[in-house]
Amino acid sequence: MSADNTQKGIEKIRREYAGEELSKSAVDNDPIAQFEEWFEQALSADVLDANAMTLSTVSGDGQPSSRIVLLKGIVNNGFRFYTNYGSRKGQEMEENPLASLCFYWAQLSRQVRIEGKVERLSRETSESYFQQRPRLSKIGAWASKQSNEVSSREELESKFEELKKRFDGQDVPLPDFWGGYLLVPHRIEFWQGRPGRLHDRVCYKKEAEEWQISRLAP
Q: Please identify every residue annotated as catalytic.
A: 197
DSSP single-letter state for residue 170: S
Ligand-binding annotation for 159, yes or no, is no
15 is in an annotated binding site: yes
Q: How far is CA 96 from CA 54, 57, 62, 81, 176, in A?
A: 17, 8, 9, 17, 21
Is 216 marked as a binding-site residue? no
- Find out whether 201 is annotated in a ligand binding site: yes
Asked if residue 197 belongs to a known ligand binding site, the reply is: yes
> Of 215, 218, 155, whose CA–CA distance to 27 is shortest?
215
Q: Is 16 annotated as a binding residue?
A: yes
Q: Is 104 annotated as a binding residue?
A: no
Q: Is 191 annotated as a binding residue?
A: yes
State the CB neighbour count (10 A cutoff) for residue 166. 11
133 is in an annotated binding site: yes
> Rounded to whole angstroms, what are the CA distances from 84 to 23, 77, 91, 141, 166?
39, 23, 9, 8, 20
Q: How far apart are CA 80 and CA 69, in angstroms?
A: 10
d(C-alpha 195, C-alpha 76), whole Å: 33
Q: Which parts are annotated binding residues?
A: 14-17, 67-72, 82-83, 88-89, 111, 129, 133, 137, 146-147, 191, 197-199, 201
Return binding residues for FMN.
Answer: 67-72, 82-83, 88-89, 111, 146-147, 191, 201
The annotation places the binding site for substrate at 14-17, 72, 129, 133, 137, 197-199
